[in-house]
Amino acid sequence: MNELIRCCSQAEIEERAAMIASDLRSMGDGERSLSMQRYFKESTPLLGIDTATLRRYAASQIDELQFGWNLAEAISLCDELVGEPEIEIRGMGIQILAAFEEEFCPRVLIPKAREWLDGRFDNWALVDSFCAQALSPLFENYPSIEPTLRKWCHAESLWLRRASLVTLVPFAREGEFLHFSYDIAKEHFSSSEDLIHKATGWLLREAGKTDMRRLRTYLLEHGPAIPRTAVRYAIERYPAKERKQLLQRTRMKLP
């Protein structure tokens, strides 16, 4: 398939990646990077570039690349950029890759997605961005990747497990693939990871957006098994009185 044929050489791709990394490092704001650390539990390499600036820079790169490059080259560029330590540089790789969404196909993207989630993306911000910009669009066009997401539920990698949830968030929000979303959420009830509890609750909350009654029934059915953090996230859109009732009725039943 033509998406596997590269017109640019690897040297040209590496040169472009080095230029992008250099440009972004020159835009860094040390004070801002320190304030951004509060969003991460662990020390995370940050340049401190604001979102608007990153988007403008991404747009300038995409304007240059989108009509001359193809998916294979975009993946190779992303591969170079996600190998850098700073979040903004790795995130830039994701943004550029997303511009080639029309060429996405599972055979090409899924192996790289697994590789990156298993070794290159090491925080919730990059994982969630990759899901929103790459995996969710892929799933929209290829629901046949459902077995892959189910398999990722039980992966050793925390980030593959989180991706199995977050990829479905945009669809659950619109009332689509709800049965699948509820099934996927259930696969994570036994997790001990706070980031999985939060992602599970997030997915459930969005699933309830178009059908609050169905979510309520689901929570009452499975409540004692659902991590409390997930329950709290899931019920955020209910009125205060009903939230309190759901918190009480979903507690672990004592013997």
3, pLDDT greater than 80: no
H/E/C letters for each residue in 93-160?
HHHHHHCCHHHCCHHHHHHHHHHHHHHCCCCHHHHHHHHHHHHHHHHHHCHHHHHHHHHHCCCCCHHH
Name the residue ranges covered by the structural domains of the chain: 1-103
4, pLDDT greater than 60: no
Contact status, residue 230 vs residue 201, Cβ threshold 8 Å: yes
In the block, residue with structure tokens 């890759």? 97
179, pLDDT greater than 50: yes
Q: Mean pLDDT across the chain, nearest whole number? A: 94
255, pLDDT greater than 70: no
Per-residue model confidence as pLDDT tens digits over 152-168: 999 999 999 999 999 99
Share of the chain above pLDDT 90, in %: 91
Using CA atoms, how far apart are residues 236 and 226, in angstroms rounded to an integer? 15
14, pLDDT greater than 70: yes
Q: What is the CA radius of gyration of the chain?
A: 20
For residue 43, what pLDDT is reported? 85
Q: What is the mean pLDDT of residues 170-181?
A: 98
**Which of 174, 93, 173, 182 lies closest to 134 in space, CA to CA?**
93
Tell me the pTM: 0.93
Question: In Å, how far are 49, 160, 188, 203 from 195, measured between CA atoms?
Answer: 25, 12, 11, 12
